[in-house]
Amino acid sequence: MADVEQNAAVPDGSSTGSDAVNGTAGRFVSSAEGTALAYGSLLLMALLPIFFGALRSVGCSKSKVTDSYLETLQMKECAKTMHVKIFSQEYINLLLSMYFFVLGVLALSHTMSPFMCRVFPANVPNKQYQLLFTQGSGEGKEEIVNYEFDTKDLICLGISSVVGVWYVLKKHWIANNLFGLAFALNGVELLHLNNVSTGCILLGGLFVYDVFWVFGTNVMVTVAKSFEAPIKLVFPQDLLEKGLDASNFAMLGLGDIVIPGIFIALLLRFDVSLKKNTRTYFYTSFLAYIFGLGLTIFVMHTFKHAQPALLYLVPACIGFPVLLALFKGELTEMFSYESSDEVLPHTPRLTHFPTVSGSPASLANSMQSFGLSTPRRRRHTPSDIYEESSPEEASSKEEITESDKDK
């Protein structure tokens, strides 16, 4: 997932790439059609990863996913503060290019995987592969990397690598958006909030954080314009005039998609837990997100100033579902819902936020978010053994337990 600190939506005339860095880009007055196309495209691109990521988060929670695939954010993690260290812009851009090349290829490959499963020819053999690195020998032998994949995964990795090379060499806005959409969808799918209270704390804290760094300083806008990394979605306002070589962009940070998105996905899982065959809270929060982002774009366009999108998204995404639950008399049930219990009983807890710092630890944590971290050997508990046993063995063990209790 990309850095959640990139939350500022930037208005007309902003540029990315070398022109923006060197300060040589001239002021471009976009046409009404170009502006409408840019803002509408940003809105659509923001909705796609939230909608499909939320649906895939439900499938992810129901499937037998490995422990390293899923991360659950708890209350204590959401109260921690994120820090950014600013170094030379050239070194940062170089580091981010390599960093996001690896992560982008993996994220885009994971995003394409369900589609590839559907279109993969049945007559082509799907061979299984395993990448295994171990440390030591004998009884002290320990697995460092144990990654299993098949032919379909190799095809997805190949296609994603082409996009990655395109992005590194050209920094084209389409390649940037492909990586950005993949990061956002994977973030919504794989990052799970454990309850609504945690979501409210997370969104509320980042609400204050976002407002301060956009209105209180110019750090957010400067970073969003200067650093060449797929941590934002961009769309040119001069596309109609210059075509694919357009360079004047409106932009939206991935944090404005992922942070509300994981809350909306939580409400979808809450809908599923009610077993009423309705998606009332999901659709309500989804429409609230559209309203909040639309209001952000309206204010941004009216005042010609970058806006903290969470200023409008957080009240909408929290307020509308809470009011609905209050009206339906399900407010207590909503806040008592625990997603982590229904998802995976043995899901590991996220000990800190994934950050974009370029350190080996942050790289490993980000790779873990996309399911490529080192598989940890699961310690079997008595309940696990019962689950893995046959019905006859489980019943016999229950009889033994009952006899022990009688003794």
Active-site pick, 153, 210, 238, 271: 210
Distance CA 355, CA 353 (A): 6
Yes or no: say if 49 and 181 are a contact pair by the CB < 8 Å rule: yes
Q: State the DSSP H helix or E strand holding residue 19, giving kind and residue range, or none if neither.
A: helix 18-22
* Residue 14 structure tokens: 């902003």
Residue 80: count of CB within 10 angstroms of its CB: 11
Whole-angstrom Cα distance, residue 226 to residue 23? 10
The span from the CA of 88 to the CA of 90, in Å, is 6
d(CA 46, CA 50): 7
> What is the distance in angstroms between the CA of the first residue and the CA of the last residue of the chain?
55
Does the annotation mark 153 as catalytic? no
Instruction: Report residue 345: phi and psi, to 5°.
Output: -60, -25
- Please check whether residue 207 is in contact with residue 310, taking contact to mean a CB–CB distance below 8 angstroms: yes
Backbone φ and ψ for 380, nearest 5 degrees, come out as -80, 130
Question: ∠359-231-146 over CA atoms, to 5°?
Answer: 50
Beta bridge partners of 252: 233
Active site residue 210: yes
Specify the 3-state DSSP secondary structure of 236: strand
Of the candidates 12, 238, 256, 271, the residue annotated as catalytic is 256
CA-closest candidate to residue 141, choices 153, 128, 151, 132:
132
Residue 268, both tokens: 């979808």
Using only C-alpha atoms, the chain has a radius of gyration, in whole angstroms, of 23
Q: Are 195 and 339 in contact (CB under 8 A)?
A: yes
- Which structure tokens are listed for 81? 């503060």
DSSP secondary structure string for all residues of 104-161 = HHHHHHHHHHHHHHHHS-TTS---EEEEEEEES-GGG-EEEEEEEEEHHHHHHHHHHH
- CB burial class (10 A; 0-12, 13-18, 19+) of residue 358? middle
Residues marked as catalytic: 210, 256
